[in-house]
Chain A
Amino acid sequence: MAARRLSLGGLCAVLAAAASAWADEGKPQRIASLNLCTDQMLMMLVEPERIASISFLSLQNERTPPELRDTAAALSVNHGLAEEVLLQEPDLVLAGTYAARPAVGLLRRLGVQVEDFAPEMSFDDMRANLLRMGDLVGERAKAEAIIARFDADMAALQAQAGEKDDMPVFADIEVNNWLAGAGTLSEEIVNAGGYRTLAETLGVVGHQNVPLEVLMTTDPDLMALETPWSDPPSLATNGLAHPALQRMAAARDVIDMPERFTICATPYSLEGARLLAAQRAGGE
């Protein structure tokens, strides 16, 4: 019984594959992605049937946009190990420039096509990566459409945000007192939402860990102290519960700013800017 159902399922899969192979001739049909951000772009660009596997990180809701979670849940996953990826017989492997490097080297030596994508530090990086991936997977038009819609949304938000000098200050304090400052994706999102980052006012470029005592001496208009990683806890996430920080937050407006908006640059990241814009509109 079980064997019959399995063979039936197998037959269906073969038929479906044959059909799509005929439809998408020349396009990669079994794409594996080893990196959270390439996972997300891939899921936006191609239909699930053409995805051999995505990284296991995409199964964590804390990191994945709600719009992609159902797709991710139905896909096979990998853990960045060469052997398991090989067994999935991919015809194209997408990797981040910083992750799973030993596996990437091994896969290349074994003749698998591996394409590296640098992490997006800005929405410009996102546009470039999306177009490049569109070319690689044969979905250039889809990539362009996504970017066009994103640009329109971004322009609307920016029009609403106004002049930078008038923006209130938003302190998004991440685990271990990390702040994202000038030249980061977070800054673009926060600015699009009509706020300046606290890090900007402190002259922080890039990401930097700032002593608690320094944070105490600042006076932001809005704070975010939430982390999705508090259960089970860690020292780092418990650190956000430090009485000094909590007392600071108690005297101010506080917003819940999920981390997933800033991990990878995708059009979904604009949701973070919309949250901030709504907060600012509500506050005024």
Chain B
Amino acid sequence: MARTVSYPLLVSGLVVALCAALAGSMMVGPAAAGTFELFNLFARGDGDVAWMIVREIRLPRTILAAMIGFTLGLTGAALQGFLRNPLADPGVVGVSSTSALGAVLAIYTGLSAMFALALPVMAIAGGLVCVVLLQWLAGRGGVLTLVLAGVAISSLAGALTSLALNLSPNPFAAVEIIFWLLGSVTDRSMDHVALAAPFMVFGWALIAWSARSLDALTLGEDSAASLGVNLARVRWMIVLGAAVGVGAATAVAGVIGFVGLVVPHILRPYVGHRPSRLLLASGLGGALLLVAADIFVRLVMVGAELRLGVVTALIGAPFFLSLVLRARAELEA
């Protein structure tokens, strides 16, 4: 009846699949460049160029896709567990949008050119503002309050992002609205990895720290507290972990939506619905999804390269709708 696979088996299966995707991502180039051109380069003896492509172009985008996917999957699972709400996702609740706003302010004012760390720091600050606003707007509300508050915050952050980009004297800024709304890891460099990776890992650690408490929260806050869970500390761990991880991810790749919604939802039955076990599984699943999607955008060339955020939205939005329908059915039942 219950679709339970043994947990170690599930995790090792995800790891194996992720490794295969990572290897694929290192080998596959953009369709326009000849998908497997790399092998020809080696065959021709252009090893130096081939290594440069692997090291400077494919490695950073692969690392970022994997780490950002892990961050989004993990954070989605943590937010859902903490808020006990299956619709909680960094994109849906607005953390991604406000992080993007922070990043946009850092880049287009020239702040990050003077001080590189300003980029992730501003994006994280943006994420924190959102979480604080959410606590205030929808602290004790139900599923719908949270989603509505998230929609409001996302719209506002999106509008302010557009405003900031339109006000920029740089002629390219205005067209970059699309990057911030629908992110991408194309042509990111190791500099971006160095900037974002430490923050993402820090975010993971904060969330992992509170993993067991999420299980106890399944029974509600009173039971959890009576079991010795420090609710205030857990809240800060999750909130900070989400803002730091998603902020850093968004700072270098824009908003990539729905990963944190779809992945936990698919994997939840396979971990017996336990929030703590869902964390690692969702992280790995998110990484797998994003690396695979990034390979997909290279293979399917429609004029210019498809954006990663477009692919995740195409997968995620129908999913979101089905979850909303289910939530409605439960409300009416």
Contact = CB atoms under 8 A, between A and B. Distances in A.
Contact of B107 (A233, A243, A244): A233
For chain A, give the interface size range: 20 to 34
B230 interface: no
B320 interface: no
B30 A235 contact: no
A236 interface: yes
Nearest to B180: A235
B304 A232 contact: no
B172 A175 contact: yes
Given A209-B304, A211-B30, A217-B37, A232 B170 contact: yes
Contacts of B37: 213, 217
Nearest to B56: A244
Q: How large is the interface on B (under 10, 10 to 19, 20 to 34, 35 or more residues)?
A: 20 to 34
Contact of A231 (B52, B113, B189, B305): B113
Contact of A234 (B49, B53, B56, B173): B173
B53 A213 contact: yes
A-side binding surface: helix, strand, loop or mixed?
helix
15 contacts: A210-B32, A211-B32, A213-B29, A216-B49, A232-B169, A233-B170, A234-B108, A235-B107, A236-B176, A239-B187, A242-B56, A242-B187, A243-B191, A244-B56, A244-B57
A212 B194 CA distance: 20
Contact of A237 (B33, B170, B191): B170
Given A217-B41, A229-B171, A234-B107, 18 more contacts: A211-B305, A212-B57, A212-B187, A213-B30, A213-B33, A214-B33, A217-B46, A217-B49, A232-B110, A232-B113, A232-B169, A233-B110, A234-B168, A236-B175, A237-B172, A238-B107, A239-B187, A244-B57
B223 interface: no
A28 B176 CA distance: 41
**Which of B37, B108, B173 has most chain A Cβ within 10 Å?**
B173
A238 B52 CA distance: 19
Interface string B104-131: 0001111011000000000000000000
